[in-house]
């Protein structure tokens, strides 16, 4: 009787309706947090160039250092969620910290030191929030491989819905009421995220990491708070001395790879095959973040200098794009493409392409996007490019993002053991952070002095950079195709071992139930 009751409760906990409710709860919380983040990200580069008067080269490196740290710290936040506080508690603490960071940005004035403090608080808050939100999605669909690609594609779609709204709205608010009102709107997004968390918390019952199911030890919470303070001051220092910060992150990247190798050598046969596949795909996925970094740096500055934002129809002016609004095209394309890809993954089922093959197609699409930007000089008028070029290039890029970055999280969920899920999601972002700094250095190849105003001078510099990025993405596609057979063999070994373990576990459970009856 007890076995039957337990089985019924387990089935109810993993029912499709309960799973969908939990998934929607996490996506809604994530959406409002992403509204705040992307709204701020769309403004910061232009804010430092236009308001604070920094050079493009300085801003690219500051943004690169910020990106490195905001990604690198995720591995620590994922570990805290897995082993110390729990994923749901980290989600809450991270959202509160992020709200404080955006509030400080609103109050920073034109003082760079205050901006560094606000950015450092955002780094700390994001470290706790981001990996644990993704880890909750992973745990909701744990044991259901058929739904991983679809779930993470829809999860990515939700984030980009918020990104599209933020990137379109915050520059519009900035143009009418100023920079700091726009930053205040980003802070409001985090407050709404906290409200959603309180309202939807019951839908996450039974979902989370092991510490979520236990009482919170006060001494652990105090230690985490102390660690947050130490990390805050460390981030402020490293933003001021970005070269040292990057050295620390590169060291952290080497350590993460070392941990990966250690786990491969010490793991079981099933874990070894999965971790080897995950490591190779992790390196491939990190390459993508070089291109991702261009959205906030070279592509935004290209839009500022060389894109005609006036949208015309039959000779009539409709509206004008702000340079900060163009990244919204990325989010809009993802919103349009995500449901189609999620439907396609479910439709194909067992006949779906492996993740490694999707990576290859994704890099090919990213290459097409940057070649579109690179060829834009052919349709330029007096050095100014029509805005439809941005729409086309972002379309190809966004398809590549969905096939690489979004599925990178699904890849971690599929190949990495559950006990280290949060840590490995953090490791995925560490690799992305290192690549983003490389992306910032590449963007600096097209940096121009602020006094250069002639679009005829800046256009060939930007288009040459985009052509080179297109070739780099094409190389990524070739590498992914070359490694495809090896990845497929590792994946087959991983799945075969897991099915064998599942069969053994089922036999043990059946024998236990029989003995109890």
pLDDT digits (tens, 9 = 90+) for 257-301: 777 777 777 766 667 777 777 777 777 777 888 898 898 888 988
Multiple choice CATH, 12-512, 2.40.10.10, 3.40.50.880, 1.20.1260.60, 1.20.1250.20: 1.20.1250.20
Tokens of 116: 């560094």
Q: Is 332 exposed, middle or buried (0-12, 13-18, 19+ CB in 10 A)?
A: buried
* 232 close to 124: Cβ distance less than 8 angstroms: yes
Strands 316-320 and 385-386: unpaired
So what's the pLDDT on residue 147? 63
Q: Phi/psi class of residue 383: alpha, beta or left (left: φ > 0; alpha: ψ in -120 to 50)?
A: left
So what's the pLDDT on residue 450? 63
Domain ranges of the chain: 12-512
Q: How far apart are CA 6 and CA 205, in angstroms?
A: 16
Backbone φ, ψ for residue 217 (5° rounding): -70, 125
Q: How far apart are CA 470 and CA 463, in angstroms?
A: 10
So what's the pLDDT on residue 437? 78
Strands 385-386 and 307-308: parallel
So what's the pLDDT on residue 286? 78
* 28 close to 204: Cβ distance less than 8 angstroms: no
Strands 310-313 and 316-320: antiparallel
Mean pLDDT of the chain: 79
So what's the pLDDT on residue 143? 57
So what's the pLDDT on residue 420? 65
So what's the pLDDT on residue 228? 93
**Residue 18 CB contacts under 8 Å (≥ 6 apart), including other chains:** 12
Q: How far apart are CA 53 and CA 145, in angstroms?
A: 50
So what's the pLDDT on residue 516? 42
Nearest alpha carbon to residue 54 among 64, 45, 67, 65: 45
Q: How many CA atoms lie within 13 A of 322 on its CB side?
A: 16
So what's the pLDDT on residue 497? 62
| Residue 411 CB neighbours (<10 A) | 31
* 487 close to 356: Cβ distance less than 8 angstroms: yes
Q: Is 111 exposed, middle or buried (0-12, 13-18, 19+ CB in 10 A)?
A: exposed
* 185 close to 39: Cβ distance less than 8 angstroms: yes
Q: How far apart are CA 284 and CA 29, in angstroms?
A: 29
Query: To which H or E segment does residue 386 belong?
Result: strand 385-386
Q: How far apart are CA 123 and CA 429, in angstroms?
A: 13
Residues of the chain where predicted confidence (pLDDT) is lower than 70: 1-18, 142-150, 242-246, 248-250, 252-253, 267-270, 311-319, 350, 352, 406, 408-414, 417-423, 425-426, 449-452, 494-517
Nearest alpha carbon to residue 184 among 96, 101, 93: 101
So what's the pLDDT on residue 385? 92
So what's the pLDDT on residue 223? 92
Helix, strand, coil share of the chain (percent; to 5)? 85, 5, 10
So what's the pLDDT on residue 142? 64
SS3 110: coil
pLDDT digits (tens, 9 = 90+) for 30-85: 888 888 888 888 888 889 888 888 887 788 878 888 887 887 787 788 889 888 88
pTM, to two decimals: 0.72
Backbone φ, ψ for residue 336 (5° rounding): -75, -35
* 51 close to 424: Cβ distance less than 8 angstroms: no
Q: How far apart are CA 167 and CA 324, in angstroms?
A: 7
Tokens of 458: 């800046």
Residue 494, CA distances (Å) to 119, 278, 468, 473 in order: 41, 11, 37, 29
**Residue 310 CB contacts under 8 Å (≥ 6 apart), including other chains:** 317, 320, 321, 387
Q: How far apart are CA 274 and CA 264, in angstroms?
A: 9
Span between the terminal Cα atoms of the chain, in Å: 8
Nearest alpha carbon to residue 137 among 88, 95, 102: 88
| Residue 225 CB neighbours (<10 A) | 11
Backbone φ, ψ for residue 425 (5° rounding): -65, -40
DSSP 247-268: HHHHHHHHHHHHHHHHHHHHS-
């Amino acid at each position: 009787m007890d076995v039957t009751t337990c089985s019924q409760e387990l089935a109810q906990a993993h029912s499709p309706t309960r799973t969908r409710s939990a998934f929607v709860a996490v996506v809604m919380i994530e959406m409002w947090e992403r509204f705040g983040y992307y709204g701020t990200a769309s403004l910061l580069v232009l804010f430092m160039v236009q308001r604070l008067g920094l050079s493009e080269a300085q801003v690219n490196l500051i943004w690169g250092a910020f990106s490195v740290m905001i990604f690198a710290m995720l591995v620590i936040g994922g570990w805290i969620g897995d082993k110390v506080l729990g994923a749901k508690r980290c989600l809450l603490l991270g959202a509160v910290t992020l709200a404080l960071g955006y509030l400080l940005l609103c109050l920073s004035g034109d003082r760079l030191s205050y901006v560094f403090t606000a950015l450092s608080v955002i780094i700390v808050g994001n470290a706790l929030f981001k990996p644990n939100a993704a880890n909750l999605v992973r745990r909701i669909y744990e044991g259901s491989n058929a739904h991983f690609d679809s779930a993470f594609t829809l999860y990515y779609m939700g984030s980009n819905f918020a990104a599209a709204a933020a990137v379109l709205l915050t520059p519009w608010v900035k143009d009418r009421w100023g920079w700091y009102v726009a930053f205040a709107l980003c802070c409001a997004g985090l407050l709404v995220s906290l409200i959603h968390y309180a309202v939807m918390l019951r839908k996450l019952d039974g979902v989370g990491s092991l510490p979520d199911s236990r009482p919170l030890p006060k001494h652990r919470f105090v230690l985490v708070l102390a660690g947050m303070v130490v990390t805050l001051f460390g981030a402020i220092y490293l933003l001021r001395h970005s070269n040292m910060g990057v050295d620390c992150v590169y060291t952290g990247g080497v350590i993460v790879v070392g941990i990966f190798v250690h786990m491969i050598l010490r793991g079981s046969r099933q874990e070894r095959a999965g971790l080897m596949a995950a490591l190779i795909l992790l390196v491939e996925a990190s390459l993508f973040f070089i291109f991702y970094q261009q959205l906030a740096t070279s592509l935004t500055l290209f839009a500022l200098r060389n894109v005609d934002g006036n949208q015309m129809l039959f000779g009539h002016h409709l509206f004008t794009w702000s340079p900060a609004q163009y990244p919204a095209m990325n989010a809009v394309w993802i919103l349009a493409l995500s449901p189609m890809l999620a439907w396609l993954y479910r439709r194909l089922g067992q006949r779906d392409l492996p993740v490694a093959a999707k990576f290859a197609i994704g890099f090919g699409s990213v290459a097409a996007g940057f070649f579109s930007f690179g060829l834009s000089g052919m349709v330029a008028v007096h050095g100014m490019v029509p805005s439809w070029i941005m729409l086309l290039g972002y379309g190809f890029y966004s398809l590549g993002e969905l096939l690489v970055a979004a599925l990178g999280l699904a890849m971690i969920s599929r190949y990495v053991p559950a006990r280290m899920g949060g840590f490995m999601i953090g490791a995925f972002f560490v690799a992305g952070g290192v690549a983003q700094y490389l992306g910032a250095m590449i963007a600096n190849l097209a940096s121009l002095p602020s006094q250069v105003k002639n679009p005829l001078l800046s256009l060939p510099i930007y288009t040459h950079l985009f052509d080179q990025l297109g070739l780099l993405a094409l190389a990524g596609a070739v590498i992914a195709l070359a490694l495809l057979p090896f990845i497929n063999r590792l994946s087959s070994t991983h799945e075969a071992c897991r099915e064998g373990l599942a069969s053994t576990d089922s036999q043990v459970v059946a024998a236990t139930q029989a003995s109890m009856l």
